[in-house]
Structure 1
């Protein structure tokens, strides 16, 4: 709008801070924007968190990336409040909390008496902390946006277009049908359907996995729980047709994995050829990974909005694909901060800089941004290779989950195994060299030119 015409900010005007657990995602966002991210210097002593801001924030717009999900959500929330307090005391101009997953979002209404509306309480707490804006992804309930006052800017973006592009270009979809697993998921399923239909209409299928048979336009279906008369057990009633088609279950969260397992079973019984599952947020609590591993679902696509770990020998690695939420978040941050739009498409189906090629130990080798505001050239090179993988539409890990150690590539991908191996070798090599070096960060344009080279 007119504000962008009057004034465009520079990356040096912006401070990008990573809370505990969000370092990798913040590094990716910073790499796309050309902003060197800074990690909080935090330590726990006697059960309390002690932290120090990594750089000068006086009169600068500050974006704090915090992953509030999983078992440590309450501890991360307290740390976020301390970070915001420190920024206020340090005279930051404007503070935006970038929360890929909105904690307590499933508690957005009163289902019984004497219970809080926790999603509204989280909104009140964020405002009381001193947060000026909140950026999140794929809310569980749209009414959460109304819990914030006009003083606090609220924005919610979606990773569904990136997931749609991944399945469209990498999975040889045959007559795809998008399935809402419950009535409240229809809106999200419709958004995914629209993205898939747009890709189909535009003929955007230039992947090496594209198939001349995959020409049918996507359709929609829905599963509804139904209790037959005289029976205590609930059955899933299918509204729509899936026989002989690839069914794609679309939801915002995967927690226990039971919904995915039940829906995939019902869809296969109804004649579906294959079942895929897509969710923005992978919480994966308790036995969820085991449930998904033994279920009939072919592939589960999530993002890195919530940090989680998978044991090295776990069979779910063959089914799980983790896409990066960084392109979407980077575009939203650029818009809010009045930065030039990144050169990387926000629909880019990129993979995180963790998983198949970075384990926890080597991630630490890459080095966090120091308090002086420099980024390791090693991470710059990793980011460039990361972007190149997308531009060539190479799904590292082949036709299987992208967090597997030795993915077994199908016949469609085996002819390009050498090219994938070369990319993997480059990524491995970049972890070894220059680990202790530092230098000025590259802009998003420089990264894009490096990756295309």
Structure 2
């Protein structure tokens, strides 16, 4: 078998800007060019997906970069078909780099006769020949247990902590971290500990799915610069209402740090017209033109973290070292 000399990255169509940014960052770290593998991922007239890899990948350590974001089904199928193409081309190892793992919200049976789609997707990924998964901020961490292969789940909180410490320099004593619901307390507490800020919770009650009937603020936010922390922002209805409730309870400013900006439907318009001073998201999902043009939406890069994680996997070194702010600080120096 040939000796593996460099990691090779192949990208689907879901988030090409992020894939190119990761390859540039890896080139910087390695001191040599690490380009994307030359391939085409196209569709026939009936929308069947076709993949052709133009480079030799026999015996190589392959990394497929593909978020399973909107359109989730198309992007998921691209990932599976690319994995099959690489497996049949005798790649030594195939790692799926999935910055945003779709279907993660369907991680348990909430009612009778409903699926656990996250487990189904995990099975499909495994059966396609993928041997490892690298993702970020899974909606539910127990999804790692749905896989029979190693899963490395990166966290956005160290990057968010670096950004908050820079954006609110000299004002950290006025910052309050807020969880938008009881289920997200662990995520919010983790970020609060990193920056030494207090924690508050917005308790929401729903009369029916998609509609929030009542919100209660647990904790005193009077005079505080509130930062709402969550993993996914979809239609932004709950987020914008939570911001209004916080302002009504005496907050001076409301900002939000959300890992995955799904931002579907009226989300961008809602955020633009809301009382939120800023919404900070990562580039795990490719930004639409509306998102990029929104005056109060800012995007922080994940390419430095993913590039280092890929190199650590390839080298057989620790990925968990990237959970620490001290480790990421030098990587993000001059970026945030």
Structure 1 residue aligned with 2:261 = 282
CA distance in 2, matches of 1:327, 1:313: 20
Asked if the contact 1:66–1:98 (Cα under 8 Å) also holds between the matched residues in 2, the reply is yes
Structure 2 residue aligned with 1:163 = 160
Q: TM-score normalised to the size of structure 2?
A: 0.87
Q: TM-score normalised to the size of structure 1?
A: 0.66
CA distance in 1, matches of 2:141, 2:38: 31
Structure 2 residue aligned with 1:53 = 53
* Bigger shift: residues 25-34 or 320-329: 25-34
Structure 2 residue aligned with 1:323 = 300
Structure 1 residue aligned with 2:10 = 17
Match of 1:294 among 273, 286, 289: 273
Does structure 1 residue 269 correspond to structure 2 residue 248?
yes
SS of the residue corresponding to residue 51 of structure 1 reads strand
Does structure 1 residue 260 correspond to structure 2 residue 239?
yes
Structure 1 residue aligned with 2:195 = 196
CA distance in 2, matches of 1:335, 1:312: 32
The Cα offsets for residues 81-129 of structure 1, whole Å up to 9 and x where unpaired, read as: 1111110110001100000011100000111122110011000110111
Aligned length: 317
- Rg larger for: 1
The Cα offsets for residues 403-432 of structure 1, whole Å up to 9 and x where unpaired, read as: xxxxxxxxxxxxxxxxxxxxxxxxxxxxxx
The Cα offsets for residues 262-293 of structure 1, whole Å up to 9 and x where unpaired, read as: 11011101101100101110001000001111
Asked if the contact 1:19–1:39 (Cα under 8 Å) also holds between the matched residues in 2, the reply is no
Structure 2 residue aligned with 1:212 = none
CA distance in 1, matches of 2:307, 2:316: 10
Structure 2 matches for 1:4-153, cutoff 5 A? 12-34=5-27, 35-46=34-45, 47-70=47-70, 72-149=71-148, 152-153=149-150
Asked if the contact 1:102–1:139 (Cα under 8 Å) also holds between the matched residues in 2, the reply is yes
Using the TM superposition, give the Cα deviation of residue 329 of structure 1 relative to its aligned residue in structure 2, in angstroms.
1.2
Does structure 1 residue 305 correspond to structure 2 residue 302?
no
CA distance in 1, matches of 2:85, 2:289: 34
Asked if the contact 1:177–1:245 (Cα under 8 Å) also holds between the matched residues in 2, the reply is yes
Using the TM superposition, give the Cα deviation of residue 30 of structure 1 relative to its aligned residue in structure 2, in angstroms.
1.6
Asked if the contact 1:162–1:346 (Cα under 8 Å) also holds between the matched residues in 2, the reply is no
Asked if the contact 2:268–2:290 (Cα under 8 Å) also holds between the matched residues in 1, the reply is no
Structure 1 residue aligned with 2:30 = none
Does structure 1 residue 242 correspond to structure 2 residue 235?
no
SS of the residue corresponding to residue 257 of structure 2 reads strand
Structure 1 residue aligned with 2:178 = 179
Structure with the higher fraction of residues in strand conformation: 2
CA distance in 1, matches of 2:258, 2:38: 28
CA distance in 2, matches of 1:272, 1:67: 35
Using the TM superposition, give the Cα deviation of residue 339 of structure 1 relative to its aligned residue in structure 2, in angstroms.
6.8
Structure 2 residue aligned with 1:405 = none
Judging changes above 3 Å, is the alpha-carbon distance between structure 1 residues 132 and 233 closer, same or farther for their aligned structure 2 residues? closer
Give RMSD over aligned pairs: 2.6
SS of the residue corresponding to residue 100 of structure 2 reads coil
Using the TM superposition, give the Cα deviation of residue 139 of structure 1 relative to its aligned residue in structure 2, in angstroms.
0.8
CA distance in 1, matches of 2:94, 2:122: 15
CA distance in 1, matches of 2:42, 2:267: 31
Judging changes above 3 Å, is the alpha-carbon distance between structure 1 residues 294 and 329 closer, same or farther for their aligned structure 2 residues? same
Gaps of 5+ in 1: 1-8, 198-217, 350-386, 396-453
Structure 2 residue aligned with 1:334 = 311
Asked if the contact 2:226–2:253 (Cα under 8 Å) also holds between the matched residues in 1, the reply is yes
Higher relative contact order (CA 8 A, sep 6+): 1
Using the TM superposition, give the Cα deviation of residue 326 of structure 1 relative to its aligned residue in structure 2, in angstroms.
1.0
Asked if the contact 1:331–1:341 (Cα under 8 Å) also holds between the matched residues in 2, the reply is no
SS of the residue corresponding to residue 262 of structure 1 reads helix
Judging changes above 3 Å, is the alpha-carbon distance between structure 1 residues 247 and 110 closer, same or farther for their aligned structure 2 residues? same
Asked if the contact 1:255–1:283 (Cα under 8 Å) also holds between the matched residues in 2, the reply is yes
